[in-house]
Amino acid sequence: MQHIQQVTNTMVPQPQMQYMCHPVVLQVNNLVVQLTLKPNRFDQIARQLTAIFSWQVQDEFLMRELIAVIFEQGVGEVNFRYNGARLCQHLGKNVTQSYNGPTFRSLLLQRCQEEFEARDMYLHSEPERVCGYTLFMAELFVQLVTINGRPYDILRGALCHLLTTLLSRPTDPNLKCVAQVLKCTGNTLDCTNRSEMDQVMCSLKDVAMTAPVSSSTRSLLLAVIELRASNWGCGPPTPDESPANTPTHTNIPLGTVYYGPGGIIQRVEDDPEDSASDTDDFINYGWSPAVEELEGDVAEAFEEFLRLQQ
């Protein structure tokens, strides 16, 4: 592996002490930063990271630390979230070794679960982290698919709970985050469980009408409600339409960040007119997946989690 010049990035947290100066952690850190700054290099960097994860990671603990580097960048850096989720899908598919059970994907989902369980604490102490996490979870929901090519129910359920959490504290930043997530994932979420979506949209309408928020935020929420009423801009559904053959996303990253020709990052305003048209609401589905839809190692991990919650 050729030498990679180290790049400083405050968004990636310091690893645990035993991995502070681990050369593999430094390599992954630098590549993640480079991908943030140069999204057009995704294919090249994804290949490099696949080689690192496949040949230079010898134990589960180092794998967890490397996943934490990617995860924290996805939570904290808007320009990384879209490609970060793509990277997670790529690594989940191409990094095949496991350590007595856990794979890259199962360890990634466990890291998502840990953050999910801390959402209420962060909502009061660090609400911007909850927003960043929710936006990254939305990108993961869009990008990660099962071996059958379907979105993960566990991510859908977690995402819906996160939207509910943000709606319970209706500040302008929280509500803008909800709107951004719904515009990317709403069509898919609506197709999977319409009745639960109805409940969320009812809550969203209440917040839009009663919460003391800015006029621009209120207009954004009303635009989301109108978008859902128009079937997310997709026209009337056909009789044979189902979640399996419904497009899952528009392939446009969340956070109103777009990549132009050559991978150049282009920003647009947080305005409903300027955002992607795929949108929606939530499902109180919980952090529990339909276990039979998951690969074996992922299913075992979350079956164990469910047992611990009983």
Range 210-215 average pLDDT: 92
Rounded Cα gap, residues 221 and 202, in angstroms = 12
pLDDT at 268 over 70: no
- Predicted local distance difference test score (pLDDT) of residue 20: 63
Helix then strand then coil, in percent of the chain rounded to 5, is 65, 5, 30
Confidence of residue 16 (pLDDT cuts 50, 70, 90): low
pLDDT digits (tens, 9 = 90+) for 270-293: 443 333 333 232 233 333 344 334
Which pTM was predicted?
0.73
Confidence of residue 64 (pLDDT cuts 50, 70, 90): very high
Range 104-130 average pLDDT: 94
Query: Is the pLDDT higher at 7 or at 78?
Result: 78
Nearest to 72 by CA among 23, 144, 126: 126
- Phi first, then psi, for residue 270 (nearest 5°) are -75, 70
Contact 166, 130 (CB under 8 A): yes
For 9, the 3-state DSSP assignment is coil
pLDDT digits (tens, 9 = 90+) for 75-112: 999 999 999 999 999 999 999 877 666 899 999 999 99
Query: Is the pLDDT higher at 2 or at 43?
Result: 43
pLDDT digits (tens, 9 = 90+) for 156-182: 889 889 998 999 999 999 999 999 999
